[in-house]
Structure 1
Amino acid sequence: MTTPVLSVRDLSVSFRGDARTVHAVDSVSYDLAAGEVLAVVGESGCGKSVTSMAVMGLLPPTARVEGSVRLAGRELAGADERTLGKIRGKDIAMIFQEPMTSLNPVLTVGRQITEVLRRHQGLRRREAVERAVELLTLVGIPAPRSRIDEYPHQLSGGMRQRVMIAVAVACDPSVLIADEPTTALDVTVQAGILEVLQSLRERLGTAIVLITHDLGVVAELADRVLVMYAGRSVEEAPVHELFAAPRHPYTSGLLGAVLRPGGEGKRRLPEIPGLVPSLDTQPDACTFAPRCAYADDDCTAARPDFETLGGTRAGHGGVHAVACRHPLPLTPTSPEVMQ
């Protein structure tokens, strides 16, 4: 793997309340190379979005963040708001999950795009407007010159999502974090959004962290996959290798729950028994053990290390790494998941 543009090391996030402390993220690490797409998957509440908000420095004061986040060699963890304000939107940007609540309802979409351009690139108003039209064209919005004077509520969900992408890529950031960019969109709009992200990657060399529940989207767009469970990394692998031969029982369970073409009504959809554990504590053990058919005393005696399958401490890039005492054997799963 080439020198990473984004390097996250042992990132942990906890939230302290009056009665308890929630450990939302526990020692997550990954690298991201220029032009690469890393998909982060897992059940709701596993820490995917919190991890990315911590990378962006957008968590509330109640959050305690530990670890390292380096963007092109520059440390972001612990940086003050003034420093982060110069970086966010310029070098690293985020597409938020729900554009209707992320876009300002009282400002036109043109104003929201030009604000980023004028702040970070110092463009004059006329130059910023012309650039905004170019960006709306780039993300596939028809009649862009007239759209810049419209408000978010006047656009469809797919159009709002494209505006969010235009705002995020206005300054050609080296890293783009896309948090559920296709949620609640119909399949045709979803295909358009994915095409836009793929185009940005190819044209600008943008590295993308893709947070999603949709394994079909992962198969189509991602180069590597990071699987999270209960705030921890449990498996990381190149996308085709992960789909063909998952090694962690949790990953296998996720893939097994994917609907396959023509399979409806012929079998009961597999489910992972039990519930996601409370994040009040992070035990020195495998957190998936209570739900795992392969768990034994070794799994509950100590926390498994995140290691490559060769037995050494996991690096990053093309390796297949797993945090499991008993990785699944190399028995490839059905290729239908990839179709």
Structure 2
Amino acid sequence: MPDVTKTKPEKGTTLDAAPAHTRADAVLAAGPAPQGKPRSLWGDAWYELRHRPMFWVSAVLLVLLLLIAAFPGVFTGADPRDGDLTKHFLTKPELTHFFQADWFGYDGQGRSIYARVIYGTRASILVGVGTTLAVTIVGGVLGMLAGYFGGWIDTIISRVTDIFFGLPFLLGTMVVMNAFTERKVYVVIGALAFLGWTTIARVTRSSVITAKQADYVVAARALGAGTPRILLRHVLPNAIAPTIVVATIALGAYISAEATLSYLGLGLADPTVSWGVDISSAKDAIRDNPHVMLFPAGMLSLTVFAFIMLGDAVRDALDPKLR
């Protein structure tokens, strides 16, 4: 009986016509097929974001806003608090003088609206970013603890979240702001964050409950990894995507909330330069001089729109079902 292990394909035959063991030897000798390096979730998200015009439009707007907030003196040389009622009382915009103090006109106190719009960017951006960071840290930590440990810890945190979630956000913030006589930027951030962390906590809790049941978390626990390591190295990186999406979209809402509080006289106040303060002071002159309110309100809407567009783009990039 012939030894099949030594049989070789005849000359002129193809690899497919050769015996099975010969084809297997050839495949093993050739080595594994070349493959590209697999991308992670964040790699896929960045690849998707790069191909979305909405992301680039929002990114350009936000970079410009951040530059204005950081270096307002580069964009205007006028003092936003310097008013001249004898020369500039409710002066109409001079559209031929671009990027000058009179480009947007002057308000009821003779102050340059353009300068106040530029300098007001800093307060609004600080409130939005500061509140978002605060609610993300507080809500993220509480949601992660509730979702990972469960049991009585989850029960206590969830019930506290429900209590805060039942309080009207804007009304509760107004009550908190009334307790302070000096309303600075950090006071507004604290008041907004006091009631704004509940949504982040709920989203994070749901993501952590899903992530902790994954095989890699079970394997890490079986290998003896401690709870801090599992939470920070395995659960958090795989559960934070929905939290980032919600926080990005909410940032614009916090900027709108600050403007609303300032309009009602419960937020920032003079001498702090803020879009909400200017909108509030312009309400009496809106009929005859709409430009006094138009420009700060337009800047506020543009900023909120840019953050909402960025949040939508990030959400679509991080959710495989929406690609």
Question: Could you state the TM-score of these two structures normalised by the residue count of structure 2?
Answer: 0.24
Which structure: greater strand fraction? 1
Larger radius of gyration: 2
